[in-house]
């Protein structure tokens, strides 16, 4: 079985090309899927190189489903649409303690969709406490 980290489509294709199909990894794990924009290589690769060719690899994709303005976040909804299973994780709302599944960006920060940050920039919020308007 092959293991390693893939940083680009070229790396992934090279791995698939040089590996006997019986030796493919059992698992392809992708984190931060929201950083892949529509038109990026990852969705097309999964569709054309794995699903349509019936390659037997489990694929686990994690990422934020919505951005800080409560909009679908890049490719994540597309990945969810082709998944056999979806699991939505939640946490506690920073404001009320209820169930939170949204990312709230604190005021005064960039309005760019992607802003890498942590607790200084973001909080988990529920729908009732997330006061950034949907745009």
- Domain of residue 38: give its range: 1-87
Residues whose CB falls within 8 Å of the CB of residue 31, separated by 6 or more in sequence, listed in order:
62, 63
Catalytic: 32? Answer: yes
Instruction: Quick: pLDDT tens for 52-77.
Output: 888 888 889 999 999 999 999 998 99
Confidence of residue 128 (pLDDT cuts 50, 70, 90): very high
- Are residues 27 and 80 both part of a single domain? yes
- Are residues 28 and 63 both part of a single domain? yes
71: left (phi over 0), alpha (psi -120 to 50) or beta: beta
Q: Is the pLDDT of residue 2 over 70?
A: no
Instruction: Supply the pLDDT for residue 93.
Output: 97
Number of domains, the chain = 2
CA-to-CA dists, residue 11 to 15, 34, 61, 105, angstroms: 6, 20, 18, 34
- Are residues 11 and 47 both part of a single domain? yes
- Are residues 81 and 95 both part of a single domain? no
Instruction: Quick: pLDDT tens for 15-62.
Output: 777 777 677 778 888 888 888 877 777 888 888 878 888 888 888 999
Q: Which of 69, 87, 105 is the last residue of a domain?
A: 87
In the chain, the N- to C-terminal Cα span, in Å, equals: 46
- Are residues 10 and 72 both part of a single domain? yes
- Are residues 25 and 10 both part of a single domain? yes
Catalytic residue among 14, 32, 112, 123: 32
């Amino acid at each position: 079985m092959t293991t390693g980290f893939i940083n680009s489509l070229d790396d992934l294709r090279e791995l698939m090309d040089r590996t006997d199909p019986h030796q493919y990894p059992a698992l392809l794990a992708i984190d931060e899927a929201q950083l892949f924009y529509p038109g990026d290589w990852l969705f097309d690769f999964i569709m054309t190189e794995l699903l349509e060719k019936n390659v037997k690899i489990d694929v686990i994709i994690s990422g934020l489903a919505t951005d800080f303005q409560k909009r679908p976040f890049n490719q994540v909804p597309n990945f969810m649409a082709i998944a056999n299973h979806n699991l939505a994780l939640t946490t506690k709302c920073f404001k009320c303690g209820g169930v939170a599944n949204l990312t709230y960006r604190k005021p005064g920060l960039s309005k760019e969709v992607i802003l890498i940050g942590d607790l200084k920039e973001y909080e988990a919020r529920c729908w009732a406490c997330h006061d950034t308007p949907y745009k």
